[in-house]
Amino acid sequence: MSPSLPLTPRLALILAAGLALTACDPKTPKPADTPAKPPSAEPGPPKAEDAPVDGGAEQEASEPLPPSPTPPVQPDTPPPPSPATFDHGPAGALPTGQGSGYLDRTVWSANLCWPLKEAGFANSQVYGPGGGMGPAGKPSQCDSSNYSLPWRDNFCEARSRSNPLCGSGTGHQGQDIRPATCKKNEHWAVAAEAGTITDIGTYTVTLVAKAAPHFTYRYLHMQMSTLAVKEGDKVVAGQNLGKASNDFGGAPTTIHLHFEMRAGVAGLTTDGRPVALQTFLPPYLSLAEAYQRKLNGGTCS
């Protein structure tokens, strides 16, 4: 596939006032579809009794948002991307019937650390096998198609959650990533940047980046009982946070990591759309370049 395009200097910054850190975790999960039965947690062949689940609930519009820790400054212009060597679909290309994707060409976090210690597969957990809207005849979340290339963007996938960049104003607020294998509580999720763990909720971990423009990253569905961090911890890029799992504060979701980015400053996308402080940002192209750097032998620092 062709590589993603680099961030342009059109990002106009507005200094953000210092705000007190606030928690941003929904304490009561509200999945779009109530599963009749949780899916099989361990890998194996498809089973007729596997029930689809929907882990689509993320951030309610009424919930408080984590602020940037300090006034931001103009970030450096990112380097051009490396040629891609793995198969990934284009940004914003959602399959028919799964919502209207957002074709944003902005690589928001040019130095992002790939948020899993090992390989991963970006795709839809809701519309993939085993998901609440998954294909008939493929009831297992461990179906090989969930653990195969190409990657698929699922930012703005059809959801009821607020997302200003989506055409309808609602949609999926991040990117779903399957870990290297269909095994929960085994594959480490790591810090995307150096920063501070500002909140740990029922099934979420929030990291606010130390460096400008102070992105906020949120990780959902790790094994919460065995996290390697606590609220207030300072972390470095690539540090272990927790293990990819299916924790959802009640009925489990599929085994995956839901990964979010929020804007640390206000400005514009490369196609001129306004971005307010704490707007959900499309992470797909940033993740693709981070993964390519990992494949090229790069390390997080």
User: How many domains are contained in the chain?
Assistant: 1
| H or E element in which residue 163 lies | none
CA distances from 60 to 43, 69, 175, 231, 257 (A): 32, 22, 17, 21, 19
Compute the CA torsion angle 57, 59, 61, 64 (nearest 10 deg): 150
* CA–CA–CA angle 93, 99, 138 (5° rounding): 85
Residue 78 included in any domain = no
Residue 32 included in any domain = no
Residue 216 included in any domain = yes
Quick count: other Cβ atoms within 10 Å of Cβ 301? 9
pLDDT at site 79:
55
Residue 296 included in any domain = no
Q: In this predicted model, which residue has the larger pLDDT, 34 or 189?
A: 189
Residue 177 included in any domain = yes
Name the band, by pLDDT with cuts 50, 70 and 90, for residue 58: low
The SS3 of residue 181 is coil
- Say which CATH number the domain at 193 has: 2.70.70.10
Give the whole-number percent of the chain exceeding pLDDT 90: 60
The tens digit of pLDDT for each residue in 217-229 reads 999 999 999 999 9
The tens digit of pLDDT for each residue in 102-160 reads 988 889 998 999 999 999 999 999 999 999 999 998 999 999 999 999 999 999 999 99
* Amino acid (one-letter) located at 102: Y
Residue 140 included in any domain = yes
| pLDDT at position 90 over 80 | yes
The tens digit of pLDDT for each residue in 225-279 reads 999 999 999 999 999 999 999 999 888 999 999 999 999 989 888 878 889 999 9
pLDDT at site 211:
94
Token pair in block for residue 41: 């947690």
Residues near 92 by beta carbon (within 8 Å), at least 6 away in sequence: 101, 102, 103, 104, 153, 155, 156, 282
| pLDDT at position 7 over 50 | no
pLDDT at site 84:
83
Residue 207 included in any domain = yes
Separate counts of helices (H) and strands (E) for the chain = 1, 12
Given a contact cutoff of 8 angstroms between Cβ atoms, the answer to whether 54 and 133 are in contact is: yes
The SS3 of residue 287 is helix
| Domain, as residue range, for 122 | 1-14+53-59+89-279
Residue 292 included in any domain = no
